[in-house]
Amino acid sequence: MDRRFRYLLILSFLAIFATAKAQFDDPKTLEIGPHGGVSYYMGDLNPMLPFAMAKPQYGGLVRFNYNNRWTFRFDYSRAKVAASDEVIKWRPERGLNFTSIINDFSLVAEFNFLEYYTGNPKKNVSPYIFGGISVFQYTVFADVAGTLVDLSNHATEGPEPSNAKWYDKMFGKTSPIGLSLPFGMGVKFSLSRHMAATIEWRMQKTFTDYLDDVATIYPEQHASVEVEGTIYDLSDPTGNYVAGQQRGNSAFNDWFGMARASLTWKFNLPDGRGCNLSKF
């Protein structure tokens, strides 16, 4: 999965630089609005199935239209991602599950394949691609007998390997903060003089393997929790494993994705050119 998306990202940026033309005299505008859709996860519990166990996500964005090809966007997303060995059946004998709540703040650059301007009746639709960087805060829970248990303070796995990469150490289990590279594609539509809509798909390559709390090996001392008088094993719910056996794949970090739509309102910036329709 890492290799496929890496190639897609490289090809996307090559397409941008191969086809982009600077148009510095275009009117510069700002767009603000909400977005919503679904989010999903791919990692140790679900390495193969996009949109499996998809959950709702929502947020808002601010888009700066530099010209009719290039725009820059800041957005906030509150997303939920989840997976279960019982549902996904990648390793059903493991019996693990998780739900993560994510607050993501991203900054991306968008490239329109066609000349596009919100409010222009002739340049009113364009496919686009985008890429950038994000910082996100997340909390991981496990469903234990119908109760969500915060896993951040439970040592569910063995010690971090000595050859762990720098980002594993920086964004490991004890860190509530993650770093990701978001990228994707979509389509923009100008609905009126000031209103626009987008439909997009995005993936986010994270630098943590703990979005699902599954990364390394089973520990010597299993983590447990008491729910309504019963003790539950958080490390090995099925009792099928022993200390030192592989619990997760530490070679690949987790991903999460979103499919969403947005609705924005355009504001002309003070240079006064945003409402000039003579050049259309």
> Mean pLDDT over all residues of the chain?
88
Whether residue 151 is predicted with pLDDT greater than 90 in this model: the reply is yes
Task: Provide CATH code, domain 2-15+29-268.
Answer: 2.40.160.20
Mean pLDDT confidence for 130-158: 94
Between CA 211 and CA 152, with CA 131 as vertex, the angle to 5 degrees is 15
Closest CA to 73 of 227, 230, 200, 223: 200
CA-to-CA separations, 66 to 31, 117, 245, 252, in angstroms, rounded: 11, 10, 53, 36
What are φ and ψ of residue 125, in 5° steps? -150, 145
Percent of the chain with pLDDT over 90: 76
Split at pLDDT 50, 70, 90, the class of 172 is: confident
Instruction: Give the pLDDT of residue 269.
Output: 83
pLDDT digits (tens, 9 = 90+) for 228-255: 999 999 999 999 999 999 999 888 899 9
* Position with higher pLDDT, 216 vs 162: 216
Of 124, 155, 157, 260, nearest in space to 203 by CA: 260
pLDDT digit string, tens, across residues 14-43: 555 544 444 444 678 999 999 999 999 999
90 conformational bin, left if phi > 0, alpha if psi -120 to 50, beta if neither: alpha
Q: What is the structure's pLDDT at 270?
A: 79
Question: Per-residue confidence at 13, pLDDT binned at 50, 70, 90?
Answer: low
Are the C-beta atoms of 177 and 207 separated by less than 8 Å?
no
Q: Which two tokens stand for residue 197?
A: 């809509």
Q: Is the dihedral of CA 256, 258, 264, 268 positive or negative?
A: positive
What is the reported pLDDT for 3?
61
In the chain, domain spans = 2-15+29-268
Residue 156 sits at φ, ψ, to 5 deg, of -80, -10
Query: Average pLDDT for residues 72-91, to the nearest whole number?
Result: 97
Task: Give the per-residue pLDDT at 164.
Answer: 67
Q: Is the pLDDT of residue 274 over 80?
A: no
Under DSSP, the state recorded for 93 is G
One-character DSSP codes across 103-116:
EEEEEEEEEESS--
Q: What is the pLDDT of residue 7?
A: 56
- Please classify residue 146 by burial: count the beta carbons closer than 10 Å to its beta carbon, then call 0-12 exposed, 13-18 middle and 19+ buried: exposed
**What pLDDT sits at residue 244?**
92
